[in-house]
Copies of this chain bind each other. A is one copy, B any other.
Amino acid sequence: MSLRATQRTADASNGYQPGASAVDALTLHAREAREVLWVMLDGRTRTRAQLTTETGLARSTIGAQLDALLESQLLSPVGEAASTGGRPPVQFRFNPDARVVLAADLGASHATLALTDLAGRAMGTVHEPINIADGPEQVLDWVLEQGQHLIDDSGRRADLVGVGIGVPGPVEHSAGRPVRPPIMPGWDGFDIPAYVQRGLSVPVLVDNDVNLMALGEHILVHRKVEHLLFIKVATGIGCGIITGGQLHRGAKGAAGDLGHVFTPSGEGVLCRCGNTGCLEAVASGPAIAARLREKGLDAHTSLDIFKLIEGGNMLAAAELREAGRMIGDTLAACVSLLNPSIIVLGGVLSRAGDHLLAGVRERVYTRSLPLATGDLQILPAGTGRNAAVAGAAVMMTQHVLAVTR
């Protein structure tokens, strides 16, 4: 609590009233110039004439939209294009450096905080062990304190457009409140945006970490893909869903709850949710570790399994592959239902050789119909450990630039 008090004093003393209204103005600009902004977000350079062709809008409309985007610095004029004669036409490019975002990935036992540009690229990063079970005030005070340092170091306080936060549990996204999160004692229903806004008066958005991993992986690695599933396999098993290029959260923000789908392999096995037969009860890190202990190995966490496999232990590798098969059985149903073009595997267990990937592929390609698997790729995460923090930044950018609902 003391930090917040200090924070408010500091804000008052330097006269900083950071900018909800500045952010609102930016959002309005972006919305009024949506057709041009939407096209330019791919990062390629274009001339006025190319924009007219691509959007189908009148030249006067293009002109007005370009003016708004240049004024807000979201576009920059660059270089010169080849011309058919006369004065070479000006080219434009999206300028992700125009503003900055504070992005946080809060895990059960560690956190990453980064100041990023509008494309989710980090300009400064802090990794630190935390304990999410310390509760929201202590953890968010850490976010505010470290965030202030990152912002001060960058000298870009006036350019901050928002804070994106990922947490390891279900979240009512529209309100920014965790909903009965199993591993986050003290966080149930806590108003995260209100608390963070006492220290940083900019928009604050919150989502669960798997949704943000899907968003980060989609924007940074598979931007052109319309339909993608991101599967995180660690202490829990969750899924982030991109449909039609947008994150799918579902009616109550509960979409992607793959860990508690019934799997025949888990028949009769009790899950921590109180049900039996959940995928998580037989294919998560703790479930694999329990089987390894029965075989005399010293394993308790996903990280223990990772280290055993890195050290060449074939029993651990075989158990991980078998877990991959169980996950693959459930993913086969997801493929039939959603017909994604890419499934990405992330989380610490996806980085222990290719064993998880091999098990998943074996079952998905066997089980799903040819039309759905013909062009389906199943890949490890390209963003590695930074997917969630990149996704938190992208979530905020999409909100501020009004490119999502």
Interface residues of A (CB under 8 A from B): 28, 31-32, 56-57, 170, 179-180, 226-227, 239, 241, 243-244, 246, 248-258, 260-262, 264, 273, 275, 329-330, 332-334, 336-341, 367, 369, 371-372, 374-376, 405
B residues within 8 A CB of A28?
A: 56
Residue with the highest number of chain B CB atoms closer than 10 Å, among A31, A339, A341 = A339
With A243-B248, A340-B250, A374-B252 given, is the CB distance from A333 to B262 under 8 Å? yes
B residues within 8 A CB of A226?
A: 251
Indicate if the CB atoms of A372 and B250 lie closer than 8 Å: yes
Q: In this complex, what residue of B is CB-closest to A172?
A: B371
Indicate if the CB atoms of B337 and A241 lie closer than 8 Å: yes
B residues within 8 A CB of A273?
A: 369
In angstroms, Cα B227 to Cα A312, docked, is 46
Copies per complex? 2
Minimum CB–CB distance from A256 to chain B (whole Å) comes to: 7
Indicate if the CB atoms of B371 and A340 lie closer than 8 Å: no
B residues within 8 A CB of A340?
A: 250-251
28 residue pairs from A and B, CB less than 8 Å apart: A31-B56, A32-B57, A170-B371, A180-B371, A227-B251, A241-B338, A244-B246, A250-B339, A251-B339, A251-B340, A251-B341, A251-B375, A251-B376, A252-B374, A252-B375, A254-B336, A257-B336, A257-B337, A257-B369, A258-B337, A260-B336, A260-B369, A261-B332, A261-B336, A262-B332, A330-B333, A333-B333, A337-B337
Minimum CB–CB distance from A275 to chain B (whole Å) comes to: 7
Minimum CB–CB distance from A381 to chain B (whole Å) comes to: 19
In angstroms, Cα B262 to Cα A383, docked, is 32
Indicate if the CB atoms of A254 and B367 lie closer than 8 Å: no
In angstroms, Cα B57 to Cα A93, docked, is 26
B residues within 8 A CB of A251?
A: 226-227, 339-341, 375-376
Indicate if the CB atoms of B248 and A244 lie closer than 8 Å: yes
Which of these, B258, B369, B372, contacts A336 with CB under 8 Å?
B258
In angstroms, Cα B31 to Cα A57, docked, is 9
